[in-house]
């Protein structure tokens, strides 16, 4: 085969790939490389096609070949780092991503992915520097500013972090068009404001704490939130009403996203509105649960072992893979006397409650729970809640209940760094993974803490 024929098959592969004919494109690139294995660009193209075909390990091998041929090929280095990052090989990915930034310092994506790798390794200060370089190169890219915001927030730089966090609203999945002027934080003077939830249950529960502060600006506050939260969040002080759909245009004057309120109020670490409780259960429902739980022996501990996988959102699904456990992993808690566990688990993992670890006393009434108001009435009668990082953590914390949070190594920004407490929830205690994926030490630590807690007067 001649050099021209090699170029021909490479070109054919590129055209086939553009047409969505992935497997034929892979074949064409293979023919080209069989004749000339010294083409780093063709190895990169083949790697891209293999990724599209769902074969990341084969793609990584191609990118390695490209780097072997051309050690400073920025695209090959970036792609190799990215595919390794996607496979959870974070420490191996980082050097390739950093070499990519050296090979092409003007490639903002490599700075961003370096930052992502550093965040996964809990090296937040370095991640902030990487994200800042990306923002310097592409200051109008909202995704880069969003990543910077999360790193700043995790680092405790709340004022700057929440300012940068406003860039999320230029990203499609966070955008919500509301036909009313946006509130700028000024006195409301009798006007009605709609505060709307844009993300998950936990986010709405956490930032509903700002509703009383908004009401103190002299207006009527309507919360527009998920249907499962309506009954519960109507109990927040200062809230006139909670609704599950956008109110009629004539019913309000201004609006604001719930998660923009920390920015509007200039929140810093020492000004976090951390007074709890600010969410309250229905007294009659709580009394009914009190009567049912009275027959359970010992301390009553709520338990949540898994979150919502959210498979429709790739980033959220990846986070859930890191935060969720299986109920069987809680076996170290089974040997603790004087406690009864009460399932607060919802979703796909609920069925695991039917087969708890041997010796772990677990009752499950969650099939009777229809929304967060029901869950709150149950939680009101528990002594403690132990949960992976889910919305139940925020519910318990907002109610002023003791809550122990099992946090993944690359934990959520809201739990900050190197702390076992939270300014957002004074009754919270964090148990953090010592390394990515290591839950056994966390559960052993929880078991020891619970043993001491149960034995205390």
Using the Cα atoms of residue 398, residue 400, residue 401 and residue 404 in order, give the sign of their dihedral: positive
Query: 110, 81 in Cβ contact below 8 A?
Result: yes
Region 397-424: what's the mean pLDDT?
96
Homologous superfamily in CATH for domain 283-455: Glycogen Phosphorylase B; (3.40.50.2000)
**pLDDT 10s digits, 324-367:** 999 999 999 999 999 999 999 999 899 999 999 999 999 999 99
Residue 132 DSSP symbol: H
Percentage of the chain lying above the pLDDT 90 cut: 83
Q: Distance between CA atoms of 199 and 260, rounded to whole angstroms?
A: 12
pTM of the model: 0.92
**pLDDT 10s digits, 86-103:** 998 999 999 999 999 999
Q: Cis ω on the peptide bond leading into residue 119 (within 30° of 0)?
A: no
**pLDDT 10s digits, 286-308:** 999 999 999 999 999 999 999 98
- For the chain, the domains span 3-173, 192-271, 283-455
Q: Distance between CA atoms of 449 and 441, rounded to whole angstroms?
A: 12
Q: What kind of fold does domain 3-173 have according to CATH?
A: 1.25.40
Is a pLDDT exceeding 90 seen at residue 194?
yes
Question: 293 vs 21, 360, 447, CA distance in Å?
Answer: 60, 17, 23
């Amino acid at each position: 085969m001649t050099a021209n024929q090699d170029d021909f098959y490479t070109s054919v592969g590129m055209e086939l790939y553009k047409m969505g004919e992935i497997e034929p494109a892979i074949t064409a690139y293979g023919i080209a490389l069989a004749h000339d294995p010294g083409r780093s660009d063709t190895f990169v193209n083949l790697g891209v096609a293999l990724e599209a075909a769902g074969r990341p390990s084969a793609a990584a091998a191609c990118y390695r070949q490209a780097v072997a041929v051309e050690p400073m090929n920025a695209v090959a280095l970036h792609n190799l780092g990215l595919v390794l990052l996607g496979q959870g090989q974070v420490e191996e990915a980082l050097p390739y991503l950093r070499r990519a930034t050296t090979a092409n310092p003007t490639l903002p994506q490599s700075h961003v992915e370096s930052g992502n790798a550093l965040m996964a390794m809990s090296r937040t200060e370095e991640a902030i520097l990487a994200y800042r370089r990306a923002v310097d190169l592409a200051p109008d890219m909202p995704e880069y500013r969003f990543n910077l915001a999360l790193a700043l927030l995790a680092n405790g730089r709340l004022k700057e972090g929440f300012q940068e966090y406003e860039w999320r609203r230029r990203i499609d999945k966070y955008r919500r068009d509301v036909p009313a002027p946006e509130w700028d934080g000024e006195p409301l003077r009798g006007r009605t404001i709609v505060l709307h939830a844009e993300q998950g249950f936990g986010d709405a529960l956490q930032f509903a704490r700002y509703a009383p502060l908004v009401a103190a600006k002299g207006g009527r506050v309507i919360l527009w939130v998920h249907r499962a939260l309506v009954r519960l969040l109507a109990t927040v002080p200062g809230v006139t009403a909670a609704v599950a759909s956008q109110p009629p245009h004539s019913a309000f004057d201004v609006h604001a996203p719930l998660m923009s309120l920390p920015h509007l109020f200039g929140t810093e670490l020492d000004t976090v509105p951390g007074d709890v409780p600010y969410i309250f259960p229905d007294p009659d429902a709580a009394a009914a649960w009190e009567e049912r739980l009275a027959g359970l022996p010992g301390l009553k501990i709520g338990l949540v072992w898994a979150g919502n996988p959210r498979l429709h959102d790739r980033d959220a699904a990846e986070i859930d893979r890191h935060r969720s456990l299986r109920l069987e992993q809680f076996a170290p808690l089974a040997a603790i006397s004087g406690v009864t566990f009460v399932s607060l688990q919802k979703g796909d993992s609920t069925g695991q409650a039917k087969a708890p670890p041997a010796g772990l006393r677990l009752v499950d009434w969650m099939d009777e729970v229809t929304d967060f108001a029901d869950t709150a009435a149950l939680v009101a009668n528990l002594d403690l809640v132990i949960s992976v990082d889910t919305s139940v953590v925020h519910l318990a914390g907002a109610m002023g209940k003791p809550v122990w949070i099992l946090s993944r190594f690359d934990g959520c920004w809201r739990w900050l760094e190197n702390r076992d407490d939270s300014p957002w929830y004074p009754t919270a205690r964090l148990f953090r993974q010592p390394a990515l994926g290591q839950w056994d030490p966390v559960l052993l630590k929880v078991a020891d803490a619970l043993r001491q807690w149960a034995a205390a007067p």
